[in-house]
Every structure is written in C-alpha cells, then in structure tokens.
Structure 1
C-alpha cells in the first residue's frame, strides 16, 4: 500500500508520546519530590505500554517559582531532580528500550535568577540589558502600558535600582527574553545544540507563539517576526536532525498551524492547539468558571483541525497535560462510568489522524484532585487567581469549585503506582497531596487486569504501530449535530475504519446513515466486540468501538 507524502522521514507519525511531570512521577530518594532516577526506574513500565517518546517537563536548574518553567541555568539539572549524569543515564537507558527523550524548551522567558537577568538589571548600561524587555515608566508614572500577566496582575514590574519596568507575561520572577536581540537568539541556539548533541529526541517548545511579541504595539502572540525566528532556529539547530519539535501555541488557528508545521515551511513538526480547551471557558472568569460540556462544539473543533491539516502539517492529539484537568474528570464520568468513559476518550482520540500524547496517569484513569482548601494548592497561577477573583467578587466556594474542575494542580498530584503508602510515589512526605482514590486507581492494579484502562491504552498504541490507516487514513466526520454520539471514519486505499462513541451516561438508540453501516473486524471496544454497524444501533453508556472493513469507495 502506497502511503501519502506526509509519511516521508516522519518516524514520529506512528509514535505515541508520554508526558512526564518529573516532580510528580517517581521519587527515588524519599525527599517527596520526583526525580530523574525515579523516571529511569519506570522505563520498563513505559516500554510495556508501548511508548516511544517521553516528553519531560523542565528539569533545568530553577528557583521553582513556577515549578521549573522559570529557568536559572539552561545547561544544568535542578538538584531536586538529580544531576547531569542522571540525565545522561536516563537518555541512554531509554534509548536502549527504543524510547526517545524530548525536553521542554522554555525560551520565551527565564528566571529572574538567571545570570543574564541578574546582569541585565544591574545597570542600564549592562551588556545584557537588551537581553530582556525594559521600558521607562508611563508619562506620569506607572507601567508602560496595560498588558497583563497570564498569572494575573500587570505584566510589568518596576526595578527600583534602575528605575525602569521589565516585562513578564507570566510570573514577575519570569522576565521575558528579547528575541529581537540576535545575541539572545544565538545563545539559545547554542544551548539547544548542546542538548541535541547529548542525544535527545527533540523539543516541546513552551508558549513559542510569544517569542515574536511587539509590546509597544500590544502584540503578545503571532508577532510579525515569529516565523522568521522559528525558521532561523530550524536552520541553526534541529533542521538537519531527525528529531521531533512541538510548539505550544495557545493562539494557533487551523490556518496559522500550517505556518508552523507545513512541510515547506522548515519550522516545526507540529503544534499544540487549545481551541477544544478554551471553548469551555467563561468569558469573564475564564477557566475558573466553566461552561457546560458541549459535544457538538468539541466535534466541530476537532473535525475542523483534522480537515485543515489533512494534506499538510500534522496534528497533535491530547486530552490533558500539566496545565489541564484530568481527561476523565473533564470529559468523562468519574462517578458513574469511570472505566468505560476513560476508554471511550482514549479510543476517540487515538484513532484520529495525528500523534497522540498521553499525560502521566491518564492511562490508569487518574482523576482531578478533590481539594477543599486553598492551602492544599501549590500552583502559582491558582494562588494568584484566587486572590484576584475573590477581590473581583467570585465567592471562595465558586473559586474552589472552579479550581477543582480546571486548576493545574489536578494534573500534578503524584503518580499513583500502587495501593501502598503515598501511592508508591515516595517514602517521604509528598510535595503535594496524593489523590485519595489511589487505593483503587493505581498502576499495579491496572497492569494486572486484562480489561483495565491501562491495557486499553496499550492496545490502542499497538494498533497505531500496526495499521497505517490509523496513521494516514483520510478523516470524515458524521452526525456532526448529534449531542451525544461522536462518529467518524478513516479511509486509506481499500480499507475503511469506522469509529463510533457515546459521550453520555445514557443508552442511546440511533438510526445511522448508510455511509456508516457495514460489517468488518472489531479492532477495539470498551464493551463486547462489535463487528457490524446496522441501520439502527443501541449504544450503551460511554460505549466506543472501531471496525475495520473494506472501503466502498
């Protein structure tokens, strides 16, 4: 079977990526914080699941104001995570198991403890002054303009020593780098090559759509030189290497995604887009007061991206990450059908066209954290927004409810390895509370159960490796306006894959169009195998299945 041109030299098309949040994955020394040797100790677990790439959230030296996304030394490992020798061992041990390690590249900003910023703020005449974005106070005093931080409050902080403001689009301890300075870009490219030469498999690029900002014009994302910088980065670093690059781009649209990932663009492998996430946020309070889940909207957005990147570019496929709530809590049913709904979500996502990303614990059905007090939270964004939203009139109860639904700490509670103390994560005191449901939900139990969520993920990952139609088949959606059923097909050559899923806790009886009807081989199901789609079908709560047949076209 001849594959489309998008398959050329793209080994990562058939791979599944597993995101590790190092602080919360596995603690090897009992200090309550996950570390690199802990990750190395779990490589056999990841190999058994079928993972070929691990994306590590930042492990660089950092004051940890934002859990490592505030970097003080790009070429050193944070002591709580281990040493550079531990990192090299992880890369070597992973490679011996056919697993590549992808680093989180955070180059929109650094920590205020980074030597560049320490020297930048020392004097207006410092050679490093222009490494960051400094502005004089506005006429009459105050910040230069009204830009706000993503973590709440102004995006400008006054430096008393030099009398100017520096820009920080996140925490005040995360000053933004000035990408217009070629010296900054040169230093970053040197650093990237240093890591690439250590044998990593690529980069996930944090808020990469911010680096072209033009703050004097109030342009934060998609600045006029953004793609110039990415093309220059490609030429100077990874462009000649067979690695994967994924850009985090909250501002991306189906149109702009091709600017990042089109084959002729010489920029990135793919981007993370978040339209399916933000469509549920409140217009005033954002994610802290969610809108009801709307499957029709979700299908529209996912379908739009499938169509837009059908012939060029490439989709990333994900439900969750370190910034998002747990997938089964957000889109499934943790109280009534936790196993069925988790398997359904995995089936729908992994059979789309693109590279799937599994966030740690997703494969065993980990859920949001039922915290009841603000003191249980550790995330700087949540703590800042708690203060600001209460000042704006949101009740404490409403805020905690919103944080329990969408706060970033939901994804950061320790990985649940066993029913032992602290879920087997640490022999010490965990840096953040373990989710209380670890007795029932843990990897040890999941791996021993043939019908577990974990084994369902393992089967989906294996199917991707063995069925080109899952990787390259043409996507077509059906029943777009149905409020409960997600239906699509994938077609490649003489083969056709039909995927049907019930997103509700109700039994749904439905008349199906002729195009979906027919018999074939059931590749996967979360109930009994289904080998035929009839004119009238009954779907059990959260039922999902995929049937492989000969194409009629």
Structure 2
C-alpha cells in the first residue's frame, strides 16, 4: 500500500452549529471555529472534517442544501470561510468539507424548477414516479419515518426522498446532474479544500424500476435498502468522479456507506480501483441495538463488536483502508454508550480511545470526545431538535408506545446527544455562547470542559494528544497487520499488531471488574516495553506472561524481536 498523508493523520470532526458561537445568536459559526484553531493545534490534529456550512433551510441541520456554492447566513460569509481556511493552512491543518449530493434541498433552484411541470428542463434532475392505485409508487420507508414518496400537486405525481420530504433525491442517471456535481466539487477544491466526506454516497445509484420491498410483520413500509444501497452503477459513478475530479488534486476522500461488507469496502477503497480513499461503515454501531432496531437499546455485545472490527481490520489489510470512529454527529457519545460515564468516565474514555487508535485505519475524533463529553438526558421531547428523533417519537406515541420507554431510547441513542454545544469552560452555557443556545447545553459542563482538561496533565485531552503523536513516530500503528486474541472474552478487547520485527499487544478492559489476562504464546521469551496506559500509576502490572487490569484499564506493550 502506497504511503499517503491521510493514513497517519487523525481527523477532528466539527459540527459547526454546536462548536463555538462568535456573535451571541446561540448558533455556532465559522468565526467561532477560527477562534478555536489553536485548541486543535494544541491537540495535534492535522485534518478537520467540517459538517455542512452551505446555504440550507436547515430541515436536517444543513444536510439539505439549497445553494452548494454559498455559506449559510447563520454561519457567516464566504470571506469568513476563506479566512478560516487560510488560518487552518497556516497551522498545518487540512480541511475536509462535507459533500451532500445524494439529495438536495427542495428549496434548491433545480428542484423549485423541476416540480413546476413535467417538461421543465430540470425535471430529470430528480426521481419521479406515478402513484399506484391511489397510493405511493412503492412501499419503501424513509430514514426519517413514513414513505420515501411525496406527492407533487403541480405535476400529479411523486418524487423520491430517502430522507426528509425536504430532501429530494438527485437523479444520478442523468449525466447533467453528475456534471453539475463535479463542477461544484471543483469549485471548492479550487478554493483550496483538502478533500470531501461524502454523505450517504453509496445510495446514489438505485435499481431500475425501484422494486417493491418486503414488509416486516407489523410494519407499514419496507426498508428498500437492497434497491438503493451499493446500487448497480455506484462504482461506475465514483470512478467517473475520480477520473474527472478527485485524481486531479492531492486530497482525502471518505464515503459514508451504510449497509456495506468488507468486500464492498475493498471495492470502494482499493487504490487500484480509483474510487475513494476510505469509507465509514456502520456494522459496529448496531451492537447495542435489540431486535426492534436502533431505539431498542440492548447491552453492548462485546464479542460481536470485536468480531466485526476484527473482520474489517483483516479483510481490508493491504487491499483497502479503514476509517476508525466511535463518535460522530449521528451517534451518541461513546463514553456513555460503551464506557462508564460516571465513576470511571476518565478511565473508560481513555480506554476507548486506546482501543480505537491502535487499530489500522484513519482515526476520527468528534468534537468533545477528547474531553469525555457524555450523553444528555433532556426531560422532554420539546428539548430535542433532531428530525429523526422527533419523527420517531411522534409516530410511536400515536401508536400507543410508552412515553417513559421512548425517552429512555432517546436518552441512549438520539443524534442530539452529539449535538449539544461544545463545553469550553465553566461559564454560563459552557462558554459556547453569550446568547440562548439553539439546543440545550449538557448540565455537566461545570465538571466536564476543555479549560479544565487543558489544565490537568492527566486529562483525557492530553491522552488523545499522546495517541495522535504516537501515530507519527510508530509506523506499526499505521502499517501493521491485526490479530484478534481472547476473542470469546465478554470483558476484554485484546489484539496484536505486527510490523516487520515489532509487535504491539493492546489490552482493553471493557468492565468495572479486575481482570487477569494471559499473553499469547507468540510473545513468549520477548521483552515487552509498556508504551502507554490510561492509569496514572505506571507500576508494573505484568509478570510471567500475564497482566492484571484494573477497572476500564488499557495498556499497550511494544515488543521487538
């Protein structure tokens, strides 16, 4: 595998609405990001992924774009954006922008025109179908509940929206649409951006005919995913995009791809295929979901989590490239989800970081993860802003679901857990804004904030800083192969990394119990040096080929032959 700058980089995701407000309107903005760049430099990250800042009606918090070449008024101006990019580049930080081109906003000029008449020049920029027997064209369910079809009065037919009805799907079969997308990508690349995170990019190709899906018992709609995820022309489209745009710039690309296997991952990320550098897969995000899906919260199945991540590690090694993440703007906070956000918050946050960053792939840190921010438990649905959460709640309340149980699911899994404002200090609203924040601040900001973390040499922040620095000096972290050990343990996530004459032993205790871990026979006779651990006390915890782990403890040993 060829050496690339994005392989040993660590990416920091900024959700702009919740990062830093510079003007007191309660909404994070671009000047706020610029003001905090020295914080990112102190952490050591070299790449920022910025969630959408384009002009948008904000039905889905910026993932519904009405002008791909303009900045949302709430976030600032194009001049603000250019200043931010310039200040990032001065600090050696690259910028990866979100690219949202499976769908646009229904307020985009293309769609405003397309819905007027069947012979409008923009009509074929979107996906239209006639109804069947007075109902929708097929039975697919939207990601945000209800049908994927919305009736359009002027033309008497329906348009497709896999997400909100204000997010009509673009028709990638139309060459003009693809050309428009490539031109807007060049617009940003020529301004100096360093890559794209591509939103739901494996959904751009739909199976012709849009077949009816199988409905689960008790459901009104079918998922339809088999007909729009990893569709028949998706690789053709991405190779065309690569040839016409991506290959002409030194950039990083990551595709958001639900419903993929490692074999799909190889197709998308093998350099010889000239598509993307890496993808986000979601298989490991379902290990705490019960039989009824995301909102049916189940205890973490650690054995399943290990097997999923190990499969991706081994199957992509030498053939593609992994993205490594626990958190993002669509996921709850990992320290609340897979760790202990109470007594062992600091230890478990560091353990989870160790577990992730020592695997092969490009690690992602979501804002606040580096200080151990936790899930929030707002008391009422009125406190939530996420369209997915609100739609689910209203739909299930109407069906007679128990409100208390629904709120439990929301407290555990709502996307708004990640979207509460960044906790900068102990001032009112966590130093995020002088105004009224667009969404409530987590009340624990007095105890959990960046100022406090930067004043404590043993904080989660400095632990992340050390992990980031290690990737620069240890090629084994970037290049080494992966071997899962103790795979059936329900408490321990342990693995080896191998590179040339070196081996890493990575031990992670996922419980509040003490564990004794035997080293694999392959390390017998080798002398191991303790590389990093998440407890301040660094006394030897190992003897005679075994290690004693304290609650949520993580230790990494480095062996040379």
The alignment's TM-score, normalised by the length of structure 2, stands at 0.95
Correspondence 1:310 to 2:317: yes
**2:186 partner SS:** helix
Question: In the alignment, what sits opposite 2:179?
Answer: 186
| Cα offsets for 1:466-485 (capped at 9, x unmatched) | 11111101111100001111
Name the SS of the counterpart of 1:233 in structure 2.
Answer: helix
CA shift at 1:116, angstroms? 0.2
Are positions 1:397 and 2:404 aligned together? yes
- Alpha-carbon deviations, 1:120-148, whole Å to 9, x = none? 0011110000000011111x211001011
Q: How far does residue 363 in structure 1 lie from its aligned partner after superposition?
A: 0.2
> Runs of 4 or more off by more than 6 Å in structure 1?
none
Tell me the equivalent position of 2:204: 211
Are 2:558 and 1:548 aligned? yes
Could you say which residue in structure 2 is the equivalent of 1:367? Answer: 374
Answer yes or no: is 1:17 the counterpart of 2:25: no
3-state SS of paired residue (1:456): helix
Q: What is residue 514 of structure 2 aligned with on the other side?
A: 507
Aligned pair 1:45/2:39, yes or no?
A: yes
Distance 2:96 2:519 in 1: 43
In structure 2, relative to structure 1, the CA distance for the partners of 1:396 and 1:155 (3 Å cut) is same
The answer to whether the 8 A contact 2:287-2:301 is kept is: no
SS in 2 for 1:333: coil
Task: Work out the number of aligned pairs and report it.
Answer: 543
Q: Distance in 2 between matches of 1:374 and 1:58?
A: 25
Structure 2 residue runs of 5 or longer lacking an equivalent are 212-226
CA distance in 2, matches of 1:49, 1:389: 42
Residue number in structure 1 paired with 2:279: 271
User: 1 CA distance for matches of 2:439 and 2:544?
Assistant: 50
SS at match of 2:180: helix
Report the alpha carbon displacement of residue 263 of structure 1 after superposing the two structures with TM.
Answer: 1.4
Structure 1 unmatched runs, 5+: 1-5
Residue number in structure 2 paired with 1:377: 384
The partner residue of 1:76 within 62, 70, 75 is: 70
Q: 1:468 to 1:533 in 2, by over 3 A?
A: farther
Q: Could you give the per-residue CA deviations for residues 235-263 of structure 1, whole angstroms, max 9, x where no partner exists?
A: 11111211000000011111110110001
Q: C-alpha separation between the residues in 2 aligned to 1:13 and 1:447?
A: 27
**Compared with structure 1, are the counterparts of its residues 204 and 534 closer, same or farther at alpha carbon in structure 2 (3 Å cutoff)?**
farther
Query: How much does 1:513 deviate?
Result: 3.1
User: 2:449 matched to which residue of 1?
Assistant: 442
Give the whole-Å Cα distance in 1 for the aligned partners of 2:53 and 2:125. Answer: 23
Structure 2 CA distance for aligned equivalents of residues 393 and 203 of structure 1: 42
Alignment of 1:50-449 (within 5 A): 50-138=44-132, 140-214=133-207, 216-218=209-211, 219-284=227-292, 286-449=293-456
SS at match of 1:216: coil
The answer to whether the Cα contact below 8 Å between 1:498 and 1:516 also exists between their aligned partners in 2 is no
Aligned to 1:3: none
Matches of 1:56 and 1:323 in 2, distance apart? 14
* Mapped partners of 1:333, 1:534: distance in 2: 30
For residue 272 of structure 2, give the secondary structure of its aligned residue in structure 1: coil
Deviations 1:264-312 (A, max 9, x none): 110000000010002332332x211122111111100010000011111
TM-score by length of 1: 0.96
TM-superposed CA distance for 1:215, in Å, is: 6.0
Tell whether the 8 Å contact from 2:138 to 2:210 is kept in structure 1 after alignment: no
What is the distance in 1 between the residues matched to 2:76 and 2:244? 29
Counterpart-to-counterpart distance in 1, 2:349 and 2:108: 41
Q: 1:336 to 1:430 in 2, by over 3 A?
A: same
2:224 equivalent in structure 1: none
Task: Say if 2:541 and 2:548, in contact at 8 Å, map to a contact too.
Answer: no
Q: Quick check: 1:344–1:544 contact (8 Å CA) kept in 2?
A: yes
Residues 192-237 of structure 1: per-residue CA shift (max 9 Å, x gap): 0010000001000000010011262331111100100000011111
Paired with 1:97 and 1:155, the residues of 2 have a C-alpha distance of 44
> Tell me, what secondary structure is at the counterpart of 2:271?
coil
* Deviation of the 1:533 alpha carbon: 5.8
Conserved? CA contact 1:508–1:540, under 8 Å: yes
Q: Distance in 2 between matches of 1:15 and 1:198?
A: 22
Q: Distance in 1 between matches of 2:396 and 2:529?
A: 52
State the partner residue of 1:535: 545
Q: Helix, strand or coil for the counterpart of 2:74?
A: coil
Task: Supply the distance in 1 between the matched residues of 2:229 and 2:176 (Cα, whole angstroms).
Answer: 21
Please give the alpha-carbon distance, in whole angstroms, between the structure 1 residues aligned to 2:528 and 2:287: 36
Distance 2:173 2:468 in 1: 42
- Partner SS state of residue 7, structure 1: coil
